[in-house]
Homo-oligomer: A and B are copies of this chain.
Amino acid sequence: MDNQISIRRIAELAGVSVATVSRIINKTGRYSKETEARVHEIMDAYHYVPNMLAKGLRTSRNMTIGILIPDITGVYFGDVASTVQSYMFARGYASIILNTGRDKEQELACIRTLQSQQVSGVVHIVRENPADAGYINLPTVYLDADPAREPNQENVVNVTCDNVMGGYLGTKRMLDAGCRNIGILMTPQNYTHVKRLEGYEKALSEYGIAPDAGKQIHLERMSIRAARRAVKEYLANDPFDGIMCLNDAFAIGALKGLLELGVRVPEDVKIVGYDSSDMLAATNPAITTIIQPIDQVGETIANELLRMMEIGTPGEDAGEHSIIIPISLLDRDSV
């Protein structure tokens, strides 16, 4: 009951060779219906479970991928990781999920671990810092990395949502609702935020409003608290009538700050957030937000990875090296 039973023992019990058992397990080569039945019977009876270490060692392809993520806890990233995990599991792959934290050191350690574990591919979810290309040529899908960073490599795909469109749609919604003095809450270190800013400015310019750096509130940490404080400060100088918040924490913080100031939302100031539908639905008023389609992102990542892992080097039908997924705006009560 303690140690697992091996293919050899199964072979003995069934009175055949290990080779035959292996063939039956993998449905390769030839074997008679009868031996097959007998072997399966024994495997079931003894609860045989294949040893993926041995298999992986032999085939140099264990059914495992690595998922690198700044912090599983993050809502959007965590959800995507979760989707990828489930999707890959259904395809027979286990996922080693590693929190990279904010630490560069840690990130490298994670990469080494994944290599040690001989994963067949890597999903690398990235926040601020462009990741080092510390791999030895493993199929890798990045989420939200700056595509310019990677020298259009084989074996590497970048996936990201349409950030320009996100910034644009959110801002436009407020413009359409009458706002003319819209601030933006962002983390400039983040590649996605830079693109979203682009969309924000595009929307403004369509309304003949010149971009004004003074309306960009730059925050280092993506925290509710920081956003709350910042909004209160900035509002004193410049009476915004709308705020584009580039993530969920910012949106919540902004709302809290505004409410504490006695400002009415959306009557006096309007807000658009980003991500985390649930959380932003929980506030009062519920916050209008840009939705990145988590399932679609997860599936795209998984499919791209599978494609690369199965074809080996992409070669001919390498597909795109950069994939952009459309987003949408979810109207609620903050605009």
Footprint of B on A, CB under 8 Å?
1-4, 47, 49-54, 56-57, 62, 64, 71-73, 78-79, 81-82, 85-86, 89, 94-99, 101, 109-110, 112-118, 136-137, 224, 252, 255-256, 259, 278-279, 281-284
Contact = CB atoms under 8 A, between A and B. Distances in A.
How many copies of this chain are found per oligomer? 2
A121 to B, nearest CB: 15
A86 B57 contact: no
B51 A57 contact: yes
Sort A-B residue pairs by CB-CB distance and give the 3 closest, nearest first: A72-B82, A252-B282, A53-B57
Nearest to A57: B53
10 contacts: A1-B136, A49-B136, A50-B116, A51-B57, A71-B82, A73-B78, A86-B101, A94-B114, A252-B282, A256-B282
A97 B281 CA distance: 28
Nearest to A280: B282
Contact of A64 (B71, B117, B224): B117
A196 to B, nearest CB: 22
A113 B252 CA distance: 40
A282 B50 contact: no
Given A49-B115, A53-B56, A53-B57, 18 more contacts: A3-B136, A4-B115, A47-B136, A50-B116, A53-B62, A53-B118, A72-B81, A73-B82, A85-B97, A86-B101, A89-B98, A94-B113, A94-B114, A95-B96, A95-B97, A256-B284, A282-B283, A284-B284
Contacts of A78: 72-73, 78
A118 B52 CA distance: 7
A259 B282 contact: no
A90 to B, nearest CB: 9
A96 B94 contact: yes
A283 to B, nearest CB: 6
A2 B135 CA distance: 10
